[in-house]
Amino acid sequence: MSDKARKAAKASKIHKDSMPCNKPRRDVQGGKKSVVKACENGQEKIVRFGDANMEIKRDNPERRKNFRARHNCDEPKSKLTAGYWSCKAWSVLALVPASGLLWSLLSGVGDVIT
């Protein structure tokens, strides 16, 4: 690996220590749209979720209902899974227009409202 490629790989690496727990943010890398440092029961894990090439159309009630049914969003999941964060992004609470406000609201909510 060349020095240039090694530096680029090092710069793009997410440092888990500098990220806050359970605060999703947009970071298109590896084909995923968002990244979060998920923390639960003393465990920490970097979770990437969401297809970077697709648009989330959660404002359409029919699409939201189908997505949530397809991904079993009514069943409780661990915060350490991408399914948990994806379902949370597709909840009714996610309809807040400003994306920064969206994630700040979602990060403090324990249960997903359908």
Whether pLDDT at 114 is above 50: no
Over the Cα atoms of the chain, what is R_g? 15
Q: Which H or E run contains 38? A: strand 32-40
| Side-chain half-sphere exposure of 49, counting CA atoms within 13 A | 22
Reading the block at residue 102, the tokens are 């969206």
pLDDT tens track for 39-85: 999 898 989 888 888 887 888 889 989 999 999 999 999 999 999 99
Mode of pairing for the β-strands spanning 25-29 and 32-40? antiparallel
The model carries a pTM of 0.66
Which secondary structure element, helix H or strand E, spans residue 62, and what is its range? helix 61-70
Kindly report the length of the chain. 114
